[in-house]
Amino acid sequence: MTEVVHIKDRKEAIHELKYSPDGTYLAVGCNDNSVDIYGVSQRYKKFGECVGSLSFITHLDWSSDSRYLQTNDGNENLADSNSDESDSDLSDVPELDSEIEQETQLTYRRQSIFISKRPKLMLYDFSIFSYRGYDCRSNLFYTQIGEIVYHVAAVGVIYNRQQNTQRFYLGHDDDILCLAIHPVKDYVATGQVGPLKDYATTGQIADGKRLASVGIDDSHTIVLWDWKKGEKLSIARGSKDKIFVVKMNPYVPDKLITAGIKHMKFWRRAGDVCIWRDIFLVKTVKAHDGPVFSMHALEKGFVTGGKDGVVALWDDSFERCLKTYAIKRAALAPGSKGDLRF
């Protein structure tokens, strides 16, 4: 993945961000009690600011017509942007509060052995009503049938309010730190801490086919997954500062956003080809606009195909692109699925 835009408008942690339903704006909630509004088509130029919350922003919701915002804050207050308390003037930025300062000191390193277990979803005659909230965000969701999903310790909990019953997912062997729900709200992803420095926060892409994770290693590595196959699609170093949020652009599936302490970054899946010697990366070559979907080695060169609809012919050292072919559906033979075979 390639970093496209890096914004540092705030000196504090960013807790929440959300695109408007029409895809025109991005709202970003910060730890200094304010919400910044950015224009998506203007390369995320700042349009305005909503102020008035008494504590840091914990949750954002847009109105269906993309005209108003509703927020929750750490002081348990609900704010509506359809009021006279929102303006576009920058406010003073206070120092980090004790909660964020404490969180920057947290470490999740474990001295344990990873054991793979079969997922277990079971019904017990006891209940769990606490949940992990002191270092986790986006940690409670509603399913499509109205059940509540949350986590505590190494247990995923599904609570049915009508029947007042709980089901427990017991497939983890260490603390769960993150939770993400499929756009259709029928699947839930959980990530745990572990000796391999696994995931600290997760989010899913709008089409529900891919899952993003952020590691708790020193670089807070970002990984884009094909969750059905369990395969990595892309990987990139995130930031030395902690990342609290990763969100997918629901209108451009190959773009995502990360935000955390004093930063917000915009990413896209790159069309690079990586050249390796043993285990060392020698160089990267820009091959396509967007992700590379296929590559084939020839006797004297390589052929690559990308999402941009281009097939490229390269020399044997990947130094020069010899020729490109723009593949269009009008040029395909009747009944062809567009597959490339050698």
Res. 131: pLDDT tops 80: no
Residue 118: name the closest of 189, 181, 169 by CA. 169
Structure tokens, 4: 């496209």
CA 64 vs CA 28, 70, 153: distances in Å: 18, 11, 36
What local confidence, expressed as pLDDT, does residue 86 receive?
A: 42
Mean per-residue pLDDT, 164-182: 88
Q: Percent of the chain having pLDDT more than 90? A: 12
Separation of alpha carbons 231 and 63, rounded Å: 36
Report the helix count and the strand count for the chain, using DSSP H and E: 1, 28
Res. 240: pLDDT tops 60: yes
What local confidence, expressed as pLDDT, does residue 301 receive?
A: 92
What local confidence, expressed as pLDDT, does residue 323 receive?
A: 92
Residue 188 forms beta bridges with which residues? 181
The sheet that has 255-260: what strands, in order across it?
Answer: 2-7, 263-268, 255-260, 243-248
Res. 35: pLDDT tops 60: yes
Candidates 3.40.190.10, 3.40.50.720, 2.60.120.260, 2.130.10.10; correct CATH number of 1-107+198-269?
Answer: 2.130.10.10
CB 139 within 8 A of CB 171: no
Mean per-residue pLDDT, 31-57: 84
Neighbours of 251 (CB within 10 A): 12
Average pLDDT, the chain: 77
Where residue 200 falls among pLDDT bands split at 50, 70, 90?
low
Between residues 77 and 275, which one has the greater pLDDT?
Answer: 275
The class level of CATH for 273-331 reads mainly beta
Where residue 112 falls among pLDDT bands split at 50, 70, 90?
very low
Q: Which residue has the tokens 């020399």?
A: 315
Res. 133: pLDDT tops 80: no
List the alpha helices (DSSP H) in 33-151: 98-103
What local confidence, expressed as pLDDT, does residue 205 receive?
A: 62
Mean per-residue pLDDT, 191-209: 66
Q: Checking DSSP bridges between strand 165-169 and strand 121-123, what pairing results, if any?
A: antiparallel
Separation of alpha carbons 242 and 216, rounded Å: 8
Res. 118: pLDDT tops 60: no
What local confidence, expressed as pLDDT, does residue 115 receive?
A: 36
- Stated pTM of the model: 0.56
What local confidence, expressed as pLDDT, does residue 157 receive?
A: 92
Asked which of 9-13, 44-48, 168-172, 305-309 is least confident by mean pLDDT, the reply is 9-13
Res. 90: pLDDT tops 60: no
Backbone angles phi, psi at 27, to 5 degrees: -100, 135
45-55: string of b/e by CB count within 10 Å (b at 16+)?
eeeebbbbbee
Q: Is 295 left (phi over 0), alpha (psi -120 to 50) or beta?
A: beta
Mean per-residue pLDDT, 306-334: 82
Q: Percent of the chain having pLDDT more than 70? A: 75
What local confidence, expressed as pLDDT, does residue 199 receive?
A: 55
Where residue 194 falls among pLDDT bands split at 50, 70, 90?
low
Where residue 113 falls among pLDDT bands split at 50, 70, 90?
very low
Q: Domain residue spans in the chain?
A: 1-107+198-269, 109-196, 273-331
Residue 70 forms beta bridges with which residues? 61, 80
Where residue 248 falls among pLDDT bands split at 50, 70, 90?
confident
What local confidence, expressed as pLDDT, does residue 311 receive?
A: 93
Between residues 243 and 78, which one has the greater pLDDT?
Answer: 243
Mean per-residue pLDDT, 23-30: 88
CA 34 vs CA 7, 27, 46: distances in Å: 16, 10, 13
What local confidence, expressed as pLDDT, does residue 108 receive?
A: 52
Asked which of 17-26, 159-168, 189-198 is least confident by mean pLDDT, the reply is 189-198
